[in-house]
A and B are shown apart, each in its own frame.
Chain A
Amino acid sequence: MSKVQKKESTTIHHPTLAKTPTGINGLDEITGGGLPFGRPTLVCGDAGCGKTLMSLEFIVRGAIEFNEPGVFIAFEEKASELSANVASLGFDLDKLQAQKKIKIDHVHIDRAEIEETGEYDLDGLFIRLNYAIDSIGAKRVVLDTLENLFSGLNNQALLRAELRRLFHWLKDKGVTAIITGERGDGKLTRQGLEEYVSDCVILLDHRVINQISTRRLRIVKYRGTVHGTNEYPFLIDEDGISVLPVTSLKLEKPVSSDRVSSGIPALDKMLDEKGFFKGSSVLVSGTAGTGKTSIAAYFASETCRSGGRCIYFAFEESPRQIVRNMHSIGVDLQQYVDKDLLKFYASRPTLHGLEMHLVSMYKLIKQFKPKVVILDPITNLITVGSVSEVKSMLIRLIDFLQEEQITVMFTALTLNTIVSEQTDEGVSSLVDAWLLVRDIEYNGERNRGMYIMKSRGMKHSNQVREFVITDKGLDLVDVYLGPEGVLTGSAREAQILQEQTGEVLRDYATGRKDRGIMRKRKVLEAKISSLQTEFESVEEELNKTYQEEELIKQVAEKTRDEMTHLRREGKK
C-alpha cells in the first residue's frame, strides 16, 4: 500500500515522508511530492478561495491519474450540486461515481430538525465514512467543510473531542485526507482545526489589490519535510487549479552558446554577426513609435520561418491588429499563425493580477513549448503592479524561461527621451541584451536611432545605427558622422548626395588633368621620335665620313703597295 514517492531529481537521498501526489499542477512541486501519505492535511482559507475545488481536484485526479479511489464527504453541497459545479472543469463526477472510483456523500446537518438531548457521539459519521471508504477501497478522503458540524450542533466540547478522535481514526485508517476549514479572525480556521491537524496545513488566500484579485497559496506547515514557504499564486481555469511554483533563483541554469537570429540581418551583424544567444533575454526599449513592436514581430517571424515556435504575449494590441500592422512592413505573421507556429496571447494587463499573468504565461509556455517568447510591452504591466512587483515577476519569468532554454524578448516603453541607465521596470540588469531605439530629432524631422546598450558574452557593435522602417521591412543604416555630428534621415541623405556631387566633380577634374598629361606625353613622344631620327641621320653622316676615310685609306694603301711593287720590279 505504500506510495511511490515522486521525488525530484536530487543527488542526495534522505529518507523523507511518504507522499501522495495530488496531481494538481505545481502543488506537488512545492510540497516536494504531494501531501503526507496516510495523514490528514488541513486546507483553509476564506470563502470562495477554492478550498472545495482544490480538495475535489485532489480526489478526482487521484481517481483518474493515480488510480486511487477517493471519498468526498460534503457538508456544504449536495453531490448533484458538486457535479454541476465542476462539470465545467471536465470532471464527470457522476461517471466516476458509477465506476466506483469516487464516492460523494453529502452530510446534511440542519439545526432546525435536530434536537440534542443527553450524551451522543459522532459514531454515525465514522460509520458512514468507514462504509464509504470500504465500499470503494478509498485511499483518499476529503471532508468539506467539517466546521459545518459546529454550526449544526451545540455541544462544542463534545465536538472537539470527537474531532480529535476523527483525525486519529483517519490516521489509523491510513487514508490521505484533506480537511477544509474556513478562515477565522486571527486564526487559520474558525474552530481552530489546525490544533488537530498537525502534519500539513495549506492556506489559500484570495486578495484584491487595486481591484485586481489574485489567488495565493501558502504551505503554513508541513511536518517532516522541506517545502516551499512562499506565497504561490494559483489560477483556477478550465483545467482546474494551477499553482505556480516560483522557480529557483539559484542561478544554476544551463547556458547555451547557440545563436538565434533576430531576423534583421543588419542587427545580427551588430551582434557579432550571429544574433542573440539562445535562451537569453532581450530587452528592446524606446519611446513611443520607435518600432519596438516591429522588431519583436521580425524576431517572431524569423523564429517561425526557421521552424521554431513562438508565443507572442500582447498587452497592448489585439493579434489581428498586430498582424495587419506588420503586413504594412512586409511581415506576414498570419501564415505562421495558420501553421500553428505562432501563437498570440492577447490580454489586457488589468484582466488579472501580475501573478495571474505569470501563471497563465507559465501554463501556456509549458503547453506550447515555444522557442521564443515575446512580451509586448512589459511596461503595460505596471498598471497592475508596482515597479518592484513587476520586476520580481519578470525575474521569475526570465528564470523560468532560461531553465527551459527559451529566448525571450521584452519590449519596454520609456517615457522620457533621456536615456536613463534604468528602465522603468529596472529589468535592464536582468536581461542579457538590451537594444535601445531612440528618436533622433534633427533638421526638422524625427528619425530612429538604434544601438546596443549591452549584450553579454559577445562582441557587439558600439555604433549608433539609423533604424529605418520601410514597406519592405526593417533595416539598419550606418549613420553619417560628419563635422556637424551624427546625421540621420534626410540630413544623412543630403550629406550622401553632397558627397556624391563632390565625387563627380572630382572625377571630372581628374579626367581633365589626365587628358592634359596624355597630350603632353604625346608631344614629348613626338619630340623624342624626331630627335631619334635626327640622331640617326647624324649618325649616318658620321658613318659615311668614316667609311669614306676608310676607303681612301684602303685605296691609298693599295696604291702605295702597288707603287712599292712596281719600284721593286723596276730595279730588276
Chain B
Amino acid sequence: MTVDKKYELRLYIAGKTAKSVAALQNLKKYCEEHLKGQYKIEVIDLLVQPQLAEGDQIFAIPTLVRKVPEPIRKIIGDLSNEEKVLVGLNIRPA
C-alpha cells in the first residue's frame, strides 16, 4: 500500500490520563508500523489550550483527528483496536 501524501494527525487529550497515554502510545506504534516517515503527530492538551476544542469539534477525549489528507476523519477512544484505527484513518481499506 502506497500513500503519497503526508499524514497530519492531531491527537486531543486532556491531561495525562491513562486513556490519553494509551492513545498516544497506540498511535505512535501504528504510525511507525504503517506510515513511517510520512506522518506528523500534534498532541493538543485541552487542559492547556481549551479554546482549540471548538475548532475541531472535539467533545470526546481522546480524539484523533486526521487533518491531512482530506476529508477530516475523527477517531475517538484510546485507539486500542488497531484494525479500526487503520480503517478509520483510511490507511487500510475497509
Partners in one complex: yes
Please give the residue numbers on chain A whose beta carbons come within 8 Å of chain B beta carbons, in ascending order. Answer: 105, 107-109, 113-125, 127-128, 130-131, 135, 149, 153
Task: Evaluate contact between A121 and B60: CB separation under 8 angstroms.
Answer: yes
Determine the distance from Cα of A125 to Cα of B12 in the docked complex, in whole angstroms: 12
User: Is the beta-carbon distance between B19 and A114 smaller than 8 angstroms?
Assistant: no
| B59 near A116: Cβ-Cβ < 8 Å | no
Q: Which bucket holds chain B's interface residue count?
A: 20 to 34
Q: B75 on the interface (CB 8 Å rule)?
A: yes
A115-B74, A118-B80 are known; give 7 further A-B pairs, CB within 8 A. Answer: A114-B74, A115-B88, A117-B78, A123-B61, A125-B59, A128-B50, A130-B50
Instruction: Report which of A105, A124, A130, A131 forms a contact with B60, defined as CB distance below 8 A.
Output: A124
A113 touches B85 (CB 8 A): no
Looking at the assembled complex, report how far the CB atom of B22 sits from the nearest CB atom of chain A, in whole angstroms. Answer: 7
The 10 closest A-B pairs by CB, nearest first: A115-B88, A118-B80, A131-B50, A118-B78, A118-B77, A123-B61, A124-B58, A125-B59, A117-B84, A117-B81
In the complex, A105→B51 CA distance in Å?
A: 11
Q: Are B80 and A119 in contact (CB under 8 A)?
A: yes
Partner of A117, one of B12, B50, B51, B79: B79
Secondary structure at chain A's binding surface: helix, strand, loop or mixed? mixed
CA distance A131 to B53 in the complex (A): 9
The reply to whether A115 and B84 form a contact with Cβ atoms under 8 Å apart is: yes
Q: What are 26 A-B pairs with beta-carbon distances under 8 A?
A: A107-B57, A109-B57, A109-B59, A113-B73, A115-B84, A116-B76, A117-B81, A117-B88, A118-B23, A118-B26, A118-B77, A118-B78, A118-B81, A119-B80, A120-B60, A120-B62, A122-B60, A123-B14, A123-B46, A124-B46, A124-B63, A125-B60, A127-B50, A128-B50, A131-B50, A131-B51
- The smallest C-beta distance from B28 to any residue of chain A, in angstroms, reads 15
Complex Cα gap A71–B52 (Å) = 17
Inter-chain contact B46/A119, CB cutoff 8 Å: no
> Which chain A positions have C-beta within 8 A of B46?
123-124, 127
Query: Mask for B25-68, Cβ within 8 A of A = 1, else 0?
Result: 01000000000000000000011001101100111111100000
> How far is the CB of B68 from the nearest CB of chain A, in Å?
15
Q: Which chain A residues lie closer than 8 Å to B62 at the CB level?
A: 120
